[in-house]
């Protein structure tokens, strides 16, 4: 808890940070931690399902954005890596603002990381 014994962030912010349901017309990058992590895990699973020798030719920085394994996991802030980073920043900022312990870091690429993400969701 914070030094005053109460959360500094309003209750609606805590609910937003943990939000897990997409809203109609929601911006791709404006989401709570559960939604970001669920989307990142799905992207990593889709990328993992296609071995590198079967990847399509890379045709440009935004072509095949939602299908090419590289784009799914690493290319931009909206890839799995970026979504995980965003969720981590949300959790860290909320914890720091409220005097809570910082979140545990679990590697996304490790088998234990995927298992941990699935259990957390």
Give the DSSP H or E segment for 34: helix 33-48
Is the pLDDT assigned to residue 19 strictly greater than 50? yes
- Listed in sequence order, the residues at least 6 apart from 20 whose beta carbon sits closer than 8 Å to its beta carbon are 32, 34, 35, 38, 121
- Listed in sequence order, the residues at least 6 apart from 92 whose beta carbon sits closer than 8 Å to its beta carbon are 102, 103
Structure tokens at 51: 């071995």
Separation CA 9–CA 18 (nearest Å)? 13
Contact 31, 17 (CB under 8 A): no
Is the pLDDT assigned to residue 4 strictly greater than 50? no
Please report which confidence band the pLDDT of residue 29 belongs to, taking 50, 70 and 90 as the band edges: low
Q: Tokens 């939602």 identify what position?
A: 66
- Listed in sequence order, the residues at least 6 apart from 108 whose beta carbon sits closer than 8 Å to its beta carbon are 40, 44, 80, 81, 84, 114, 117
Q: What is the pLDDT of residue 115?
A: 60
- How big is the CA angle at 54 (ends 46 and 38), to the nearest 5 degrees? 10
Is the pLDDT assigned to residue 102 strictly greater than 70? yes
């Amino acid at each position: 808890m914070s030094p005053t014994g109460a959360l500094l962030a309003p209750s609606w912010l805590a609910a937003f940070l943990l939000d897990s349901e997409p809203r109609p017309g929601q911006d791709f990058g404006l989401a709570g931690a559960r939604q970001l992590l669920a989307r990142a895990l799905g992207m990593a699973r889709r990328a993992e399902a296609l071995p590198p020798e079967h990847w399509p030719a890379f045709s440009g920085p935004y072509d095949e954005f939602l299908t090419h394994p590289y784009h799914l996991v690493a290319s931009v802030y909206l890839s799995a890596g970026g979504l995980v980073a965003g969720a981590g920043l949300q959790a860290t900022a909320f914890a720091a603002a409220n005097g809570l312990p910082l979140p545990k870091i679990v590697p996304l690429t490790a088998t234990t990381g995927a298992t941990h993400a699935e259990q957390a969701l």
